[in-house]
Amino acid sequence: MKRYLPFVFLFAFSWTAILQAQKSTYKIGFSQCVSEDFWREAMEREMEIEVSLYPELELIKRDAGGNSLQQIEDVRELLGMGIDLLIISPNESDPLTPVVEEVFGQGIPVVVVDRQISSDAWTAYIGADNYEIGFQAGQYAASILEGRGSILEIAGLKGSSPAMARHDGFVEAIDAYPGVRIDHFLTGKWNWAEGKQVMDSALSQGIRPDLVFSHNDFMAAGAYEAALSHGVAGDFFFIGIDGMAEGGIQYVIDGKLDATWLYPTGGDKAIDVARRILLKQPYDRLNDLQTLLIDSRNANTLRLQNQQLASLQEKIEKQRVIAGRYREQISNLRVGAMVISAFTILVTFLIILVIRAYRGKQKANKVLEEQNIEIEKQNEKLQRISEQLEIATQQKLRFFTNISHEFRTPLTLMTGPLESLMQKDDLSIEMQHQLEMIYRNALRLLRLINQIMDFRKLENDKMELHAGQYDVVKFLQRIKDNFDPLAEKKRISFRIECSAAFQELWFDPDKMDKVMFNLLSNAFKFTTEGGAITIGFEIRDKQVGPEKMQVAEITVADDGRGMSEEHIKKIFERFYQIEQQREGNYFPGTGLGLSLSKGLIELHSGTIEVSSRKGEGTIFFVFLPLGEAHLKEEEKVQVTDPDQFDLASFQLISEELRYFTELADPEVSRQVVAATPGKSEYLILIVEDNPDLLQYMREILAINYEVLTAKDGKEAWEIVQRDLPDIVVSDVMMPFMDGLELTQRIKGDVRTCHIPVIMLTARTSIENKLEGLEAGADSYIPKPFNERHLLVRVRKLLEMRKALGDHFREYLSFEAIENPVGHMDQRFLERTSRAITDHLQDLEFGVEELSREIGMSRVHLYRKIKQITGLSVSEYIRSIKLVYAKNLIRKREMSISEVAYASGFANPSYFTKCFRNQFNQSPSDYLAQFGSE
């Protein structure tokens, strides 16, 4: 028995490993004390979405609802739950500092969000620069007051670090304007009711400021309501801070606020930094979030963007639930693999027992044989012993043989499909996506090959029909069941309507399965979300030649885009395809599907027809004759069960449908990108109509860059105009607008002509390359392309653009560089330079005035000048003035002060400061140096 103990221990250890196989997780405690619902909900939503991307993270939330004492209790509760890291957004700095120091002192990392505490006992801080926001608000206030006026400031909670920083920044800014003053300073405690109350009290006392500056939008809105109730809401300006979609942005749109400043929540950033800390990856201790001025010029745009983001977040949340299910399935597969390992160990143990038993039998026989020779008298006794041993041995062998056979069958059924899964346990999610992409395209190739082979058989009259008498209603229902998941994903109403519950019909189910797949794939291809698709069946009379006869009618109807009369006439011709925008095209076509379907139906002696109207939908009619008179004897097969269908292609089509269903959900292709956000300031636009290739390129580039995607040239052109990416990577052959036309538009528009374009195409001839380069492409990469090749091309183009900007910032000119920018960009710079020099004596001439002079929006002007020169518009205007001043100094006709005024500077000392910063010497030194040359 002792000989078998190691095997028993090994088997027990395997089962113990199965039971204890749990993935370790990190507990992140999150405590916030924010009274504004919109702010709190936005931060929690960002955190939950980010956490959902990392299975190893668990988020435990506590909300103190604006009560600092309750927040202290919440932190202690989280500490008692054994958290690995604390994320805290304190309501007040001083009261929360001791408990945060207590957590930090126990070696638990602390990430502080929004408001800082009164000590350095924290690991990382995430938040906007409240001082800078206050400073910008002060500058804005002075600007709209035109340098003169009275201000009423409504501050946040007393002792709150954001309130103190915003006040200090605001005061610092208006100190530069002697005519602007803060006459009244009130405390609104961050909420709408307090803001209304203090404003109402001030107005009742006869206080009438020119501008009301509130530390957040809710207090600003409350102050506005108080002014409205006093009938003076239109007498002064209101500005606030936060810029939430349902708060400050809406208040600006409604006219309650004149302006607000975006104060990001930083929820997603907090989770990202926390994860880096827990995984001991590099992170920044101070993480400043960027702000943005929101006024009537951009409020509507930002609200629309927020609405789109909210919709996207809702989809991400749904995908998170699906991803959770997938993770659970993977976990189950992992346990299953370990069970198989345990069974393998058991089988090995049994085989060893069989071998040992067999060897024991041989040894016993040998002993018996030797004893037989030596002691003949005991032969009978030894013979009986030998027979008994033989019987026992055979029983053992029979038992182990039978049980081994029983194990082999289920093991074969399990290990066959699971072999690849067992090898993929340690693969990353990205690698799993790539393997699925390979499998999906392999299925597509296999289906296309089968389709071509079937088509050739039809052409050569080699296609054989194997028709039996089956229940056609049951057949159609089974087809529908396979398309149901896709309909659900696309939110399409999908139903079947049959005139009878049972109807026998002579047909070949394998071939009719291909027909229905082609018809339904076209229906799903051209039916948008919220549409409807119906499979119909009935027996009816049809005019066939000079007489009527009963036929089986199968219909596939959709309310999609429909077709014109021109397309209807050619729809069944081989290789014919309708050129439409392929949004949601999960069944890339070859133009063979409908032609093949027509041939397969005619093989049944049937016909197919189509009815369609542009914009109203399409109906395909399949007519099959009843009975069996139209069939040859060799085309008939005997069917024992009309509900059982022998479908040779059914498994392949079912598998392909499963992957098409996954591809139908746009969030599937975003998971990898969301898990690996871009690491640089550069924005790359990828334009590709193949979803798998688009996903692959997105995964490659998203590691280092921010990435936008478009499915065709038309969508890409809209994105280029809106976002002005730093580089465009585009396919050539696409629906709606191809890559050549897109490139021509980019290079032919003064707003976008500076953007580099890389073309990717399978058309690799010299003529095609020349065509792309003549269209304006900066680089041309043939398919299939090398991943590193693409990354190097993108990096080199961006480095070249950056080098040009660095050169211009240093020398304020491109003169030393040969062909630095294109002709349109050169003309643009000359035009802007001329507009600036023409208005040097207009001290009010700034960014707004220059954008009107050039005929370009402020946003496009800023982005274009920034991408060409590396300078902001204000810096660019100042650089043109300095170059002009430098030329005046060289003429030695004016004093330094006169040069300053002539160059558009209002203050000679400020001119001297700017000149020294740019040229590393004062104007006087430059004049002296030039005079000595």
The label of the residue with tokens 């500077």 reads 905
Q: What is the pLDDT of residue 148?
A: 92
Burial class from Cβ neighbours inside 10 Å (0-12, 13-18, 19+) for residue 117 reads: buried
Contact (Cβ atoms closer than 8 angstroms) between residue 548 and residue 542: yes
Tokens (6 digits) for 792: 């190097």
Our CA angle for 750, 753, 759, nearest 5°, is: 155
Contact (Cβ atoms closer than 8 angstroms) between residue 133 and residue 166: yes
Could you tell me how many residues make up the chain?
933
Closest CA to 257 of 299, 288, 292, 290: 299
**Among 140-149, 466-475, 764-773, 785-794, where is mean pLDDT lowest?**
764-773
Residue 401 has pLDDT above 50, yes or no: no
Residue 41's pLDDT band (boundaries 50, 70, 90)? confident
Residue 933 has pLDDT above 50, yes or no: no
Q: What is the pLDDT of residue 674?
A: 38
Whether a cis peptide bond, with omega within 30° of 0, leads into 90 is no
Residue 533's pLDDT band (boundaries 50, 70, 90)? very high
**For residues 522, 523, 527 and 529, what is the CA-based torsion angle, rounded to 10 degrees?**
-110
Query: What percentage of residues in the chain have a pLDDT greater than 90?
Result: 22
Rounded to whole angstroms, the Cα distance separating 286 from 266 reads: 12
Contact (Cβ atoms closer than 8 angstroms) between residue 134 and residue 166: yes
Half-sphere exposure at residue 268, Cβ-oriented, CA atoms within 13 angstroms: 14
Residue 851's pLDDT band (boundaries 50, 70, 90)? confident
Average pLDDT score, the chain? 78
Tokens (6 digits) for 768: 């095609």
Contact (Cβ atoms closer than 8 angstroms) between residue 23 and residue 55: yes
Our CA angle for 866, 845, 130, nearest 5°, is: 60
Rounded to whole angstroms, the Cα distance separating 908 from 898 reads: 8
Burial class from Cβ neighbours inside 10 Å (0-12, 13-18, 19+) for residue 500 reads: exposed
What are the pLDDT digits (tens) for 431-459? 666 655 655 555 555 566 566 566 666 76
Tokens (6 digits) for 742: 């897109």
Query: Residue 155 in 3-state DSSP?
Result: strand
Q: What are phi and psi of 26, to 5 degrees?
A: -105, 135
Q: What is the pLDDT of residue 811?
A: 55
Contact (Cβ atoms closer than 8 angstroms) between residue 270 and residue 126: yes
Contact (Cβ atoms closer than 8 angstroms) between residue 220 and residue 228: no
Quote the distance between the C-alpha of residue 610 and its chain's center.
39
**Among 28-42, 152-166, 275-289, 604-618, where is mean pLDDT lowest?**
28-42
Measured in Å, how far apart are the chain's first and last C-alpha atoms? 106
What are the pLDDT digits (tens) for 226-245? 999 999 988 899 999 988 87
Rounded to whole angstroms, the Cα distance separating 725 from 716 reads: 10
Rounded to whole angstroms, the Cα distance separating 900 from 883 reads: 12
Q: What is the pLDDT of residue 575?
A: 62
**For residues 897, 900, 902 and 905, what is the CA-based torsion angle, rounded to 10 degrees?**
-130
Our CA angle for 248, 254, 258, nearest 5°, is: 60
Residue 676's pLDDT band (boundaries 50, 70, 90)? very low
Residue 409's pLDDT band (boundaries 50, 70, 90)? very low
Q: What is the pLDDT of residue 651?
A: 46
Contact (Cβ atoms closer than 8 angstroms) between residue 87 and residue 274: yes
Residue 678 has pLDDT above 50, yes or no: no
Contact (Cβ atoms closer than 8 angstroms) between residue 529 and residue 559: no
Give the bridge partners for 58, in sequence order. Answer: 27
**Beta pairing, strands 504-507 & 757-761:** unpaired
Instruction: Catalogue the long-range contacts made by 359-368 (C-beta closer than 8 Å, 24 or more residues apart).
Output: 360/393, 361/389, 361/390, 361/393, 364/389, 365/389
Q: What is the pLDDT of residue 692?
A: 76
Q: What are phi and psi of 546, to 5 degrees?
A: -85, -5
Give the bridge partners for 648, in sequence order. Answer: none
Q: What is the pLDDT of residue 930?
A: 66
Rounded to whole angstroms, the Cα distance separating 621 from 200 reads: 73
Contact (Cβ atoms closer than 8 angstroms) between residue 470 and residue 639: yes
240's enclosing H/E stretch is strand 237-242
The label of the residue with tokens 């680089």 reads 779
Nearby residues of 636 by Cβ (< 8 Å), 6 or more positions away: 467, 468, 506, 628
Residue 874 has pLDDT above 70, yes or no: yes
Rounded to whole angstroms, the Cα distance separating 827 from 3 reads: 91
Residue 358 has pLDDT above 80, yes or no: no
Residue 718 has pLDDT above 50, yes or no: yes
Nearby residues of 204 by Cβ (< 8 Å), 6 or more positions away: none
**C-alpha separations of 365 from 97, 352, 369, 553 in Å:** 86, 20, 6, 78
Residue 402 has pLDDT above 60, yes or no: no
**Beta pairing, strands 532-544 & 547-558:** antiparallel
Tokens (6 digits) for 238: 């209101």
Give me the DSSP letters along 515-569: HHHHHHHHHHHT--TT-EEEEEEEEEEEEETTEEEEEEEEEEEE-SS---HHHHH
Query: What percentage of residues in the chain have a pLDDT greater than 70?
Result: 76
What are the pLDDT digits (tens) for 120-130? 899 999 988 88
Residue 843's pLDDT band (boundaries 50, 70, 90)? confident
Tokens (6 digits) for 432: 């799993």
